[in-house]
Each structure stands twice: as C-alpha cells, then as structure tokens.
C-alpha cells in the first residue's frame, strides 16, 4: 500500500507515493539532507539546483566505489573458496589412498 510522503529540500516541496516503512524513509531523507549540506559546505555553491545535481553525482560516485569494492571482495572470496575446495579434495584423495 503506497503512502504519500511530503518532501522539502533546498526550498522545493513535493509529494511522492512510497511503499517503504516511515523509519527507513526518514533514515534515507536524513542521509540525503546531510549529503546536501556536505556538498554545500565543500563546494561553496549556493544555487539549490546546482547543489542537488552535484550531490546526486557525488552519491552516484560513492555507490559505484562501493560496488567496485564489493565486486573485488566477492572475487577474493570466490578464489579463497576454490582454494579451500581444492585443498579438501586433495586431502580426501590422500585419505582414500591410504
């Protein structure tokens, strides 16, 4: 069931329909507000649209960096798993030959 959520950022107000829990949405909105403030403080930009655009780009960059790190870690886990499986197979063959 969709709920209406009222948003106000950088002087713009609007409503969206959402299916998420209110606590989760508050967490996301708080993070976005913090990201907007961070962008404003580090960039010195005061135009609301420019702040929103730059914040969006910065958040996408952060998402992609996290994805790359997760992919790297996933590959490392797969390699370790294959190595362990190989060691187990070798140990089983040794036990069966005795």
- Does 75 or 97 have the greater pLDDT score? 75
How many distinct structural domains can be found in the chain? Answer: 1
Strand duo 3-9 + 12-18: pairing: antiparallel
Residues 31-65 as b/e (b if ≥16 CB within 10 A, e otherwise) read ebeebbeebbeeeebeeeeebbebbeeeeeeeeee
Whether residue 88 is contained in a domain is answered as no
Average pLDDT, the chain: 90
pTM for this entry: 0.70
Write the pLDDT tens digit of every residue in 27-66.
Answer: 888 999 999 999 999 999 999 999 999 999 999 999 999 9
Residue 17 domain-assigned?
Answer: yes
Confidence of residue 1 (pLDDT cuts 50, 70, 90): low
Q: Does the residue 12 lie in any domain?
A: yes
In a domain, 83, yes or no: no
Structural contact between residues 2 and 19, judged by C-beta atoms closer than 8 angstroms: yes
Predicted pLDDT of residue 2: 73
Please indicate, yes or no, if residue 23 is contained in any of the structural domains.
Answer: yes
Do 29 and 35 contact (CB within 8 A), yes or no?
Answer: no
């Amino acid at each position: 069931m969709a709920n209406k959520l009222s948003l106000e950022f950088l002087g713009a107000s609007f409503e969206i329909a959402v299916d998420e829990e209110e606590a989760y949405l508050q967490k996301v909105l708080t993070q976005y507000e913090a990201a907007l403030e961070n962008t404003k403080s580090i960039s010195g930009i005061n135009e609301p649209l420019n702040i929103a655009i730059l914040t969006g780009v910065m958040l996408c960059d952060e998402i992609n960096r996290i994805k790359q790190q997760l992919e790297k870690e996933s590959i490392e886990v797969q390699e370790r798993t294959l190595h362990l499986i190989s060691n187990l197979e070798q140990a089983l063959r040794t036990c069966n030959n005795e």
